[in-house]
Structure 1
Amino acid sequence: MAAILSNYKIPQLTYGSPSVMNNKSQAVFFQWMFPSRNYHYTGILQLLLHFRWTWIGVIYLHVQSAEEFVHSALPIFSRNGICFDFIERFPKVASSNNVAEVMEKGMGLYNIAMKSTVNVLVVHGEIQSMMILRMLLYFSKFENRLVKKKVWIMTAQMEFTSVAFQRDWDLDSIHGAISLAIHSEEMLGFQEFLHRRNPRQQMEDGFIKDFWKDTFKCWFHDSDLDMRAEKICTGEETLENLPGSVFEMSMTGHSYSVYNAVYAVAHAVDAMHSSKLRQRRVVDGENWKLNRSPWQLHHFLRSISFNNSVGEDISFDHNGELLARFDIINWVAFSNKSFLRVKIGRINPKAPPEKVFNICEDAIVWPSGFNQVRPLSLCNDLCRSGYSRMKKEGEAFCCYDCLQCPDGKVSNHEDMDDCFPCPEDHYPNKDQDSCITKIISFLSYEETLGIGLAISAFSLSFITVLVFGIFIKYQHTPIVKANNWHLTCTLLISLLLSFLCALLFIGRPEKLLCLLRQTAFSIIFSLAVSCVLAKTATVVLAFMATKPGSSIRNWVGKRVTNCILLSSSLIQATVCTVWLATSPPFPDFDMHSMTEEIVLECNEGSVAMFYCALGFLGFLVVVSFTVAFLARKLPDSFNEAKFITFSMLVFCSVWLSFVPTYLSTKGKYMVAVEVFSILSSSAGLLVCIFFPKLYIMMLKPELNNREHLLRRKKGTT
């Protein structure tokens, strides 16, 4: 009908779903009392995305508009993360002869829908689709077929309607369904208008009499039909007593569209008659009036704009489509075969982007099978926080497995495509679903480890001072004089500074502290080892000088010791000076070595200079150990060679074990290992070199005399 009338250029207004025009010339003469189907489909998509229903089924009617929905709209759904378990078409009712075939195919479609894991089904159809859908759901109960509750999402074209034999069916199948509907308002006087409808008063309306007979199951005396009805139509029957499944007293979206369509034509006709074309014009001295043709009304329909009786603006866009919004309707069914349409939201294309889609989720009544809990419709359960999605091969893109995030990464939302690393100053929690701020860590005086090392450093420093005091008291005794008093003082002072140097490694690293740490350690330890080397060298030279005619006698004394001390200290000081001048140590944050901590440390600056300083110190240690080892068999009363050898052995053992321990620890524990190595190696020198002499001075004073030493010397010779 629409295609035929468009050939005669007759303007048409369709109040239901917009027809699909095969060419633009047909569309020119159409006005749709229906918003753009793009807004319609976008609304359904936004509804699905809002509830995160990404796994759905689609059933559509065998009409051109539904075919367009499948081929043009569903790909857009897919690009937005919606995938489909099935897309099936309603069986087409060609004539009454294929009803059995239609029902058979319909039951096959029903089985597909019920066996599917989807909980949401989108139905695209026309008014009659509701009748077919109700038939499929109703007859399935009598064939012992699987019945599962689903959320039906219906397009705005689908209005509730039923045939005579469906009036006594329950409406449980549509309970909780959601549909889009053309926005409508209750019109003042509409209810009174319905109350006045009566076949006795509207005799010229043949339709109302047929409607009355079918609806109230009665017959008129003047009816040509047989008298199989139970009662006679009196005309006193009232529409408001009918259940909603038979007749709705409220104004539906279609009724509202009809109302606006009639007024649109009225306003267009009025505008046409009041236009300048109505004026009489004189042509060749004669008056004439322009005759109107139906196609001339089209221009006025396209440009018409008016406010209806409820104040809503009615106008059309350049495509002849109504500029209006959609209501989101929740269908609530009752046991008395009535139902209620509840507006739960809207889709308003004229609103700002963030307000186009609006819904009140708390007002929704879900199908009874979901216990008033929002249904999920997913191919699989959501991946919880701490997991990410991994696609299943050969299945729809929204079907996936959940993999736990790898170490160092988190996912803080459900269903994330991938995990992400925390910022540098954060770390993943145990469940890997959030990031926790790292604490700043350094070896401080406020923790047990730092306090213990500091007390050890002060205790060893005190012991060194005590030893120094005892040696000062006994400096004139033979055992002290025999081992070079000045070197002894220098060594004790360097050991005292070594113990105090350990305190530089405890506390919050600051710029000045970082400059002093490694350089002070390198210079002080070089001085201490140089003293040990000088002591050993002095003893060796002294015994070599006792040989008749030896020229080494000139080197015995302070010349050798001063040369060793000054050269060693000067070389190490030069290395440290160059280090500080080129790339000095500085405070730095180590974000990566510790998982839960940010290590505040002293960065060495130039790694090459750092290893040069340590390398020279190691060289001194090796030389001292070698010389002491070669001199270990010299008379014990005159030298410390055996004790120096043992002390160097302890010193080397400490620092050799330090290397793997240092490399295997992280954060503040690396600093603690270095402090412990400094204290233990210095304590080894103190104990091995000075405690044997303290034993003689304090507990065996009779051995600390010249005669005993000479006797030992003579006996050894």
Structure 2
Amino acid sequence: HFPLLANLRFYISRGHGSSRAVKPVCRLRGTPALPQFSKDGDIIIGGIFSFHDNVITAKNIINFKEYQFAQTMIFAIEQINNRSDILPGVSLGYKIYDDCSSVTLAIRAGMALMNGYDEVMSDNPCNKPPTVAIIGHSGSSLSIGVATVISSFRISLVSYYATCICLSNRNEFPTFFRTIPSDNFQSRALAQLVKHFGWTWIGAVRSDNAYGNSGMATFLQAVQEEGVCIEYSEAIYRTYPREKLLKTVEIIKHSTSRVIIAFTTFIDLEFLIKELLLQNVTGLQWLGSEGWIATESLATEQYYRILNGAIGFAISNAVIPDLKEFLLSVRPSSSVNNIGLNEFWEDIFSCSINKATKEKIQCTGFENLNNVNNHYTDATELRITNNVYKAMYAIAYSLHNGITCESGQEASEQMACFSKLKVNFTTKSGERVYFDENGDPAARYEILNWQLSNNGGARFVTVGIYDTSLPDGKQFLMNNSAIVWTGGQNKLLRSVCSESCIPGTRKAVQKGKPACCFDCILCAEGEISNVTDSIDCIKCPLEYNANDKRDRCILKTIEFLSYGEIMGVVLVVCSLLGAFTTISIAAIFFLHRDTPIVRANNSELSFLLLFSLALCFLCSLTFIGQPSDWSCMLRHTAFGITFVLCISCVLGKTIVVLMAFRATLPGSNIMKWFGPTQQRFSVCTFTMIQVLICALWLLTSPPFPNKNMNSFKDKIILECDLGLPAAFYAVLGYIGLLSVLCFVLSFLARKLPDNFNEAKFITFSMLIFCAVWITFIPAYISSPGKYTVAVEIFAILASSFGLLFCIFAPKCYVILLKPEKNTKKHLMGKMPSKSL
């Protein structure tokens, strides 16, 4: 809706343009600004265009495209005046000014339109039809200047090319409207496009004006939210000194990013491209805003060397019926209402309107525009031109709705009616035109790709669309296969500061650089990353370990001493061999139980000792195989009890030897104190103490199977946890105590006669036993995994073999090989003793 419509109420009520004689009460101060094109009418529509690109060299630089925009506005007004369904009985006039791309001149033109006075019309500005709306400008900075001035007078400014986000602020610019989408849509769409192509390291160039600064600020915010980093952000402007442009070129040359987002006007970019051409800076992928991406003047063979493969957003092209014929039908005139066309005509045909000069012939006025090929006559690219056309029709529909709403209502109702007016119509081409609450239209862009044309320049190929009216997730429609990238490549150019970190590694940001610049660090042992560009590594569960690539957790190898492996087989064979040997010796002793050597060595304790040694050999089998609740409890208790039984028998035999020696002394009766009954009792007593220790151990905190995951990172040790370590140490300590006692007693009896050699053999056996278990302690502690169990089994077997062979081998030797010595006379014979 247009706020100024309410001000038309009094003018329209007088008959839609009927004049009344009024006493002049207004006077113009200062020199009036003359319009380039003008026509009287009941209602005046203002227009401000940049016919010249620079106020200083206005006579030399003519913007033919802006002339096309102005003529399109006139064309639309003529169409509307000839229609009966829009503003019947009301004629639209126009005043079109040139701002020469200057904010100052743009504001001056806006002020002139507000005054409503010019030298051509009546001398009384108060009696002239009002300017209800202005069409302009081609730049955001120009639009900001004019919109700020005219908003206080409730005059609407409808822009066809000003895209700055700031102009959507209704508090600052309540009367501003536009038929081109706000850069808010384009900036965020550009960020999505960068993300779509996987670029994470880009450079940025912007025009140093409201359009470039505001649009780039929104783009940078949006693109950084997508995880993209900006290597540099440079501002350029057409009036900058060359040294400043050269500095920007140097930054681009030495950058590592391969993609440049250019949020600029085509004029500013052209200055930069010229410098890049001089230094042959090519091979970069340009991503452009609508300010230049569809500009024909840049699509030359020369500029294509730099901009080939460029991609960007452009306003959708359109077809305006009969416009080209109208553009070609214009003619210069001597009327001051049409002075803007005279310079245009002179420049195109290199002639002079007034009279011939030495340099130029006189224009006839009938030169043929059909033979002219420039931006004015080109009706194939009407992207922005169509916005001018829509702007004019939006104003006309709003006026029409306002007049219809006003008729036959009271003044208060009329004001309320005008304040609610909205524009919503459909063009002949089927395009719907409306404004949202911020005065912005719906955003719909074509995605253009610069591809090589037949003349060596660029042709604009549509490779996709972006439409905000579509549902989320479907606003982008892309045809990636149709894109030609910079250098004529069909393969997407990569632009990253650091290559992606593969699974198994994590990103480590390089010091002093943006987040997109990082090193890829291999995950630590036991940790993985299973996605690309992982920030952190994930620790594997305790039962799992990382594979070599660190991208997957694999179940750790479960290790225990099994029967199937070589070491287990060897230990089983040794255990069974020891048990078989023990049983064989027991059989020999049983068969020769009546011989003196068996009887003299206390056959009862000997058989009990052989029985306990057989159990010692067999108990080592409980240490082999996968630990279970029963095997863990059995292996330690069986080991403790059988070894105590074994040492108790040896201790009993040692005491018997000592007692027997003392009994041979005159008057000694000591053997009655340590007879068979006492021997059995001592063995049972010593053994029962160990049984009690083991019972308490099992009742309080018994051993149990445990998965040891801490000793090794790559495997799980399946072992028996001691439960209560103090109980285990008590079992070992008790065995050690009995062993030391036995060793001491046997050592004291070492000087007994040689033919009565039991004490000497016991001493050797206990010496081996103690040596084995003393060396067992450090070996047990330092052995890893299943080797801990192997060391324990080895200690059991070694000490058992030591006892077996040291005590029983000599006797078996006599029994089997020296039977002549197996006599009572030989055993009781007196022979000199030998010391150890």
Fold similarity call, TM over 0.5: yes
Q: Secondary structure at the match of 2:205?
A: strand
Aligned equivalent of 1:280, options 397, 408, 417: 408
User: 2:503 touches 2:533 (CA, 8 Å); kept in 1?
Assistant: yes
Q: Which residue of 1 aligns with 2:463?
A: 343
CA-based RMSD of the aligned residues comes to 4.2
Q: Which residue of 2 aligns with 1:161?
A: 295
Q: Which residue of 2 aligns with 1:200?
A: 329
Query: For the residues of structure 2 that align with 1:463 and 1:663, how far apart are their CA atoms?
Result: 31
Is 2:134 the counterpart of 1:6? no
User: 2:424 touches 2:432 (CA, 8 Å); kept in 1?
Assistant: yes
User: 2:562 touches 2:625 (CA, 8 Å); kept in 1?
Assistant: yes
| TM-fit CA distance, 1:695 | 1.4
Aligned equivalent of 1:463, options 573, 581, 586: 581
Query: For the residues of structure 2 that align with 1:545 and 1:307, how far apart are their CA atoms?
Result: 134
Q: Which ranges in structure 2 are unaligned for 5 or more consecutive residues?
A: 1-145
Query: For the residues of structure 1 that align with 2:796 and 2:628, how far apart are their CA atoms?
Result: 21
Amino acid across the alignment from 2:262: V
Query: For the residues of structure 2 that align with 1:341 and 1:428, how far apart are their CA atoms?
Result: 50
Alignment of 1:399-414 (within 5 A): 399-413=517-531
Equivalenced residue count is 679
User: 2:620 touches 2:793 (CA, 8 Å); kept in 1?
Assistant: yes
Alignment of 1:416-495 (within 5 A): 416-495=534-613
User: 1:35 touches 1:321 (CA, 8 Å); kept in 2?
Assistant: yes
User: 2:200 touches 2:496 (CA, 8 Å); kept in 1?
Assistant: yes
Q: TM-score, normalised by structure 2?
A: 0.71
Aligned equivalent of 2:212, options 66, 75, 87: 66
User: 1:328 touches 1:347 (CA, 8 Å); kept in 2?
Assistant: no
User: 1:130 touches 1:160 (CA, 8 Å); kept in 2?
Assistant: no
Amino acid across the alignment from 2:463: K
| TM-fit CA distance, 1:262 | 5.7
Q: Secondary structure at the match of 1:26?
A: coil
Q: Which residue of 1 aligns with 2:496?
A: 377
Q: Secondary structure at the match of 2:287?
A: strand
Amino acid across the alignment from 1:595: K
Alignment of 1:75-86 (within 5 A): 81-86=227-232
Residue-by-residue CA offset, 1:259-318 (whole Å, 9 max, x unaligned): 6656655665565556xx44514x6xxxx99878xx9867434xx566777877765543
| TM-fit CA distance, 1:539 | 1.3
Q: Secondary structure at the match of 2:172?
A: helix
Q: Which residue of 1 aligns with 2:438?
A: 319
Cα distance change, pair 58–584 in 1 and its aligned pair in 2 (3 A)? same
Residue-by-residue CA offset, 1:447-503 (whole Å, 9 max, x unaligned): 222233223222322222222222211122111111111211222222222222122
Cα distance change, pair 454–109 in 1 and its aligned pair in 2 (3 A)? same
Return 516-525 or 450-459, whichever deviates more.
Answer: 450-459
Q: Which residue of 1 aligns with 2:26?
A: none
User: 1:439 touches 1:597 (CA, 8 Å); kept in 2?
Assistant: yes
Cα distance change, pair 21–355 in 1 and its aligned pair in 2 (3 A)? closer
Aligned equivalent of 1:122, options 261, 271, 282: 261
User: 2:483 touches 2:490 (CA, 8 Å); kept in 1?
Assistant: no
Query: For the residues of structure 1 that align with 2:188 and 2:576, how far apart are their CA atoms?
Result: 77
Is 2:738 the counterpart of 1:623? no
Q: Over alpha carbons, which structure has the higher Rg?
A: 2
Q: Secondary structure at the match of 2:328?
A: coil
Q: Which residue of 2 aligns with 1:87?
A: 233
Query: For the residues of structure 2 that align with 1:574 and 1:482, how far apart are their CA atoms?
Result: 33
User: 1:57 touches 1:121 (CA, 8 Å); kept in 2?
Assistant: yes
Q: TM-score, normalised by structure 1?
A: 0.81
Q: Which residue of 1 aligns with 2:705?
A: 587
User: 2:324 touches 2:377 (CA, 8 Å); kept in 1?
Assistant: no
| TM-fit CA distance, 1:512 | 1.8
Q: Which residue of 2 aligns with 1:534?
A: 652
Q: Which ranges in structure 1 are unaligned for 5 or more consecutive residues?
A: 94-100
| TM-fit CA distance, 1:384 | 5.0
Query: For the residues of structure 1 that align with 2:625 and 2:431, how far apart are their CA atoms?
Result: 75
Residue-by-residue CA offset, 1:392-440 (whole Å, 9 max, x unaligned): 4445554445555444444445554444433222223334444333122
Alignment of 1:176-187 (within 5 A): 176-181=309-314, 184=316
Cα distance change, pair 421–508 in 1 and its aligned pair in 2 (3 A)? same
Amino acid across the alignment from 1:375: R
Cα distance change, pair 331–662 in 1 and its aligned pair in 2 (3 A)? farther
Amino acid across the alignment from 1:107: L
Q: Which residue of 1 aligns with 2:103?
A: none
Amino acid across the alignment from 1:66: G
Is 2:421 the counterpart of 1:300? yes
Amino acid across the alignment from 1:614: L
Q: Secondary structure at the match of 1:427?
A: strand
Amino acid across the alignment from 1:509: P
Q: Which residue of 1 aligns with 2:246?
A: 107
Cα distance change, pair 234–267 in 1 and its aligned pair in 2 (3 A)? closer
Q: Secondary structure at the match of 1:199?
A: helix
| TM-fit CA distance, 1:114 | 0.8
Cα distance change, pair 650–105 in 1 and its aligned pair in 2 (3 A)? same
User: 2:505 touches 2:523 (CA, 8 Å); kept in 1?
Assistant: yes
Q: Which residue of 2 aligns with 1:96?
A: none
Is 2:202 the counterpart of 1:56? yes
User: 2:273 touches 2:303 (CA, 8 Å); kept in 1?
Assistant: no
Return 63-72 or 220-229, whichever deviates more.
Answer: 220-229
Cα distance change, pair 445–682 in 1 and its aligned pair in 2 (3 A)? same
Query: For the residues of structure 1 that align with 2:714 and 2:617, how far apart are their CA atoms?
Result: 32
Identity over aligned residues, as a percent?
34
Query: For the residues of structure 1 that align with 2:440 and 2:686, how far apart are their CA atoms?
Result: 97
Aligned equivalent of 1:249, options 380, 395, 398: 380
Cα distance change, pair 697–162 in 1 and its aligned pair in 2 (3 A)? same
Query: For the residues of structure 1 that align with 2:570 and 2:370, how far apart are their CA atoms?
Result: 104
User: 1:385 touches 1:433 (CA, 8 Å); kept in 2?
Assistant: yes
Alignment of 1:612-691 (within 5 A): 612-691=730-809
User: 1:171 touches 1:334 (CA, 8 Å); kept in 2?
Assistant: no
